[in-house]
Amino acid sequence: MDFNRSRFIRSLPASIPLDIIGDVHGEWEPLQQLLHFLGYDERGRHPRGRKLVFVGDLCDRGPDSPAVLDWAIEMMANDQAYAVIGNHELNLLVNDPKDGSGWYFPDRSQDETRYAPWQHYADHKRQQLKETLAQWPLILQRDDLRIVHAAWLPDCIDKLSECAFSSLAEMNQYWEERFHDDFRQTAWYDVYKQETENLGISLEDEHYAMSFQPGIAHYDLLRSCHNPVRALTSGIQAVTKTPFYINGRWRFTVRKPWWQQYTDQVAVIIGHYWRNWYSEGVAEHRKNLFQEPPTQWLGSQQQVFCIDYSVGARWRERQQSILPTQTRLHLAALRWPEKVIVLDNGTHYLSEKKH
């Protein structure tokens, strides 16, 4: 594939040591703590010339998405940091309000009861934020490293240069329209349409006795791999016969561990997948996603690492009055090339490869 043909794939500077930070999700205080332990000052400078890389999903759910985004954007403007776009930034960019985005979207008032108190984004800054996010790449890479929010999928990466798009939002819209046109031609379309009409708002009701809905399942399954922007930022899916409720709606597909088929020798760093640092408390729908310890590399070649340790769920701990010092959820960075994991409490662990 010709990476130079796509404006959505950019190069990282060679040889510079990096600190690759997982999904922040508006958690400003853990970010500040992590930066302190990594050795950065308040302006994102490191005494040894290290640079920050964010794997996307800097916003939503946490108490201060505006502070996180504004700081990261300033650091990127000063060449102190880099970032790829995650599915949560993409939702903002294409005006698709989702669970936890009420800090930005006024019509997500239902988020206030779950996530508030939190900081809202100033109205006069919204357009500039969208214009800035529109410039973020989907992929950062250099000879020894590839960074993408959710999935490294060569077929999808090839699609990025299939047409000349002026913006990420335009490309996303193009592929979404193609998916819907193609899905209408499948045997699942009428089933899907009937299921969504019958269920209506029940699809968002956590207490509804939900049964498996094959039409919706196949809609989500095919959508996950059809649009390359969605696939790279949200990963691909597999059908599950046991419905589960998460992030405001019932689900009939689960995230698929694409890294089991990754055979290249270049390391890939991702976020997105809500890895657990502790073995207990793993959600049922994620138990088949990670069989490895939290410090271990993933895939048949042990060349993929997920640096997301679920700090985006700290809102649940706040609801339960769990103190930050008692948290089971962490923001973390992977130091490159050292391959050392640093948590927001200052502890260090060497990442491991299974022999």
Interval 108-120: pLDDT, tens: 988 998 899 999 9
Question: What value, to the nearest 5°, has the Cα angle with vertex 351 and ends 347 and 354?
Answer: 145
Query: Quick check: pTM over 0.75?
Result: yes
Sequence-ordered list of residues with C-beta below 8 angstroms from that of 197, at least 6 positions apart, any chain: none
pLDDT of residue 247: 77
Q: For 48-62, 140-154, 162-176, 282-296, which range has the lowest pLDDT when averaged over its residues?
A: 282-296
The pLDDT of 167-173, averaged and rounded, is: 91
Average pLDDT, whole number, for the chain? 93
Model confidence at 241, in pLDDT bands (50, 70, 90)? confident
Q: Which amino acid is at 67?
A: A
Q: Was domain 3-163+259-350 assigned CATH 3.60.21.10? A: yes
Token pair listed for 308: 């997301």
Spatial distance between the Cα atoms of 126 and 211, rounded to a whole number of angstroms: 40
pLDDT of residue 166: 79
Q: Which of 314, 351, 311, 305 is nearest to 330 (CA)?
A: 311
> H or E element: which one contains 51?
strand 51-54
Q: For 3-12, 219-228, 262-271, which range has the lowest pLDDT when averaged over its residues?
A: 3-12
Sequence-ordered list of residues with C-beta below 8 angstroms from that of 150, at least 6 positions apart, any chain: 86, 87, 231, 232, 233, 234, 235, 270, 271, 272, 273
Biggest CA pair distance of the chain: 60
- In the chain, the N- to C-terminal Cα span, in Å, equals 31
Alpha carbon 252 to its chain's center:
20
Spatial distance between the Cα atoms of 251 and 113, rounded to a whole number of angstroms: 22
The pLDDT of 182-191, averaged and rounded, is: 96
Spatial distance between the Cα atoms of 195 and 193, rounded to a whole number of angstroms: 6
pLDDT of residue 2: 45
pLDDT surpassing 50 at residue 4? no
- pLDDT above 90 covers a percentage of the chain that reads 85
The pLDDT of 206-222, averaged and rounded, is: 95
Query: Taking the CA atoms of the chain, what radius of gyration do you get in angstroms?
Result: 20
